Amino acid sequence: MWFNTSVFENVTSILRTCNPSKSSGQALQPSGLLIVGVSGGADSLCLLHMLHAADYPVIVAHFNHKLRQESDIESATVAELARRLGRPFVTDAADVRAYAETNGLSIEEAARRLRYRFLFAQARKHTAQAVAVGHTADDQVETVLMHFMRGAGLAGLKGMTPRTILSVFDAEIPLIRPLLSLWRADTETYCRAHGLDFVTDASNADQTYFRNRLRHSLIPELQTYNPQFKQALLRTAVALQGDYAALQEMLDQAWEDVITAEQDGWVAFEKSRLAKLSPAWRRNLIRRAAETLRPESRDFGFEALERAAAFAGTPPEKQIDFVNGLYLFAESEKIFLAAYEADLPCAQWPQVGKLIDWEISKEVALGGGWQLSAQEIDGAAACAQARGNGDPFQAWLDVHLTGSRLQVRPRCAGDRFQPLGMDGQSVKLSDFFVNVKLPKRARAKWPLVCVDNEIAWLPGFRLAHPFRITDQTKRGICLRLEKK
């Protein structure tokens, strides 16, 4: 049977498209092991046979999704082919439908996650240089069109790349797609020419799936407007991949300029620098941060990114929800993108973890460079200084009322406080913290200066009314909390 052999003649040149665009010492090696995902369809059989014919070391890996009655037969067929080729065979299976229901996923996404989890686990186990899958140009066209229909930006419209890192599965081993320049018809022709009996998945005709509706209905309709529609969209994706790569290089520099810190569960931007950037740059930076925090998520949505970019420009409020369990909030000179479950930093605030008996002649170190100090002064001087004080991290107390009984401690359940200026009325400390908008994560260990467990001063906010300096004060004490 005749077929176009030119596209299949040089496997090395095909694999070269899967190498990094820059020299990084990570180019695919002919002697390096490849894990090849083989479903039994024409695309994956074509890929496996090409690699086998070129004598590349491969392990045949098949994941049984248990979605159709034929699944077990197909698994056995792939195992038999691996045996005939003399190649190692590994397999696994899972109830994809049950996994999808349990995790609130579509069948397609659940199948993808479980399949890639298996493939990369095998790659790690066998020290493979890459995982190879048989995506073709048809898959690329369908993917780009799906992203366009859902309103994706450049990151989605560029489609699949020949080589990528799926960090949610493995941060080092790449996924490669050597057949992205070939059409599905080519792989079927190749299989027939080499006597490879490929499986045609009956579910591919089920138009309840979005991708199948595009494949069988929308794309044929679009081809009536342009018979070369698929080729044109494929060229567009290739062009956009180049644009996206250039954008990423510029984005790398912008990232270095605006990111002040990143940890497990959060990323912090320098607010003023981020605000100076255009909305488009802010969208891209927030997308990158979101992808860092939620690598398993593939689409954050234009509207969510637009709202986040607007917030990052001029925050109209303290906090907004983003997507996928992430939120944005402004704090001091930073804007955080964080997961709700994240343990956010407290180093910028004074914090105390246990009760400390304070000898006022000595300084108390609270960690993070924060330090409490005290100085006794004459009552008249203390009274004069207290009247002109505008520093919330400095306070004057009456020594007659405090003596040497000062303590420093974190808050306790039920703590109440009599803020200066409220004529001795007490408030719940928890309510006071809410009113002054102290971030939640800073409240539990905020240092309280106490006399016999009664709050005398809340550093950074307010002196307690009962311990204030008055005209009758003989001796005062000046307390300071500062960061050295």
* The pLDDT value given to residue 156: 86
* The pLDDT value given to residue 316: 64
- What are the mean pLDDT values of the chain's consecutive 10-residue runs (484 residues total)? 49 77 66 95 95 94 91 93 97 94 91 96 97 96 92 87 92 94 93 91 76 92 96 95 93 95 92 94 94 82 89 80 90 88 78 90 85 89 83 90 85 92 87 87 91 92 91 90 87
CATH number corresponding to 11-237: 3.40.50.620
Superfamily of domain 356-483: Phenylalanyl-trna Synthetase, Chain B, domain 3 (3.50.40.10)
* The pLDDT value given to residue 430: 93
* The pLDDT value given to residue 2: 41
Angle between helices 96-103 and 107-125 (to 10 degrees): 110
* 266-270 and 259-263 beta bridge pairing: antiparallel
Cross-strand pairs, 376: 477
d(CA 384, CA 389): 9
* The pLDDT value given to residue 24: 46
Q: Yes or no: say if 46 and 95 are a contact pair by the CB < 8 Å rule.
A: no
Q: Yes or no: say if 360 and 374 are a contact pair by the CB < 8 Å rule.
A: yes
Q: Do domains 11-237 and 356-483 have the same CATH topology?
A: no
Cα dist. 108→25, 91, 214, 271, 291 in Å?
A: 35, 19, 15, 39, 20
Q: Where are the domains of the chain?
A: 11-237, 264-339, 356-483
